[in-house]
Chains A and B, each alone.
Chain A
């Protein structure tokens, strides 16, 4: 189950609306954006909280597993 907070940085202004609509279509419960220093944007898409012990950053598993 998709959970937690997903941030996408380096989004150009002309892509901002499109990428936000992509996250919306993916079922994010909240989507916000803020300007970065370099003229790009960071989108923050929020999904329901992860269950305890199910951190989204478990990348120790390789894609081949």
Chain B
């Protein structure tokens, strides 16, 4: 091999290596659509002329045009969302330890959004939600967060698309283009970070509320070694057989005297983990109640 060719070969190897590395970082297959596809769709199906054509048309032609415009716009939103996703993912994978999460988030969004006001809103949303998680291992949090956000954005978009596809089954009179534009606008927003964050937050809040409700509705009991506990258990289950009549009598007594405490009759023979001493005092009162203690077993 001539020595003069070595630098050229090295350059080729370097370029191939870098290209492969970029694909690995992006993590998506190459898009077979030409780079001009989005611009072409925008030029044709987001122009006033096509809407004017639709307004002039009638009957089947009008409905066919409606469908064509809607499908083309969905395709445009899909391409734009795909670009947005790739930009987010590239940034997530290319992170180094110590990289600032908010700066990266803004970088990813800034790559596909030109409007400065939108950028500010997204930055504020990201800072509010993600920034609150603290500075520990920011890059790892970000990678996980991006995956969750993308999954949520995809779910939101599928939901929005489903609405459109269902409405497209209706005739043009019931689902005109103007009405479809509203649904398309929802589809466009469904692929945004603020919407994904809002949906995830709402879902987390619902789960938290459910968990809190379950915790609040739980009475925790533990074994009691007190004499009153043993006496009460013997009374409730003479001969170690649960006596339904006495259990019911004690339950009614508890509901009359300690309605707010929600104590189970058989639980009173144990101790409440969260309120030491309460059950012991109530047991003593129950055992001292002659009328209650005289409840027959049958």
Contact = CB atoms under 8 A, between A and B. Distances in A.
Contact of A7 (B221, B240, B255): B221
Interface string B261-287: 110111100101111001001100100
Contacts of A10: 222-223
A8 B270 CA distance: 8
Given A22-B266, A23-B264, A5 B219 contact: yes
B223 A61 contact: no
Interface of A: 1-11, 18-19, 21-28, 45, 47, 49-50, 54-59, 61-64
Contacts of A24: 242
How large, as a class, is the contact surface on chain B?
35 or more
B217 A63 contact: no
Dominant SS among interface residues on chain A: loop
B217 A59 contact: no
A21 B240 CA distance: 10
Contacts of A22: 236-237, 242, 247, 266
Contact of A50 (B217, B237, B285): B217
A49 B218 CA distance: 10
A5 B214 contact: yes
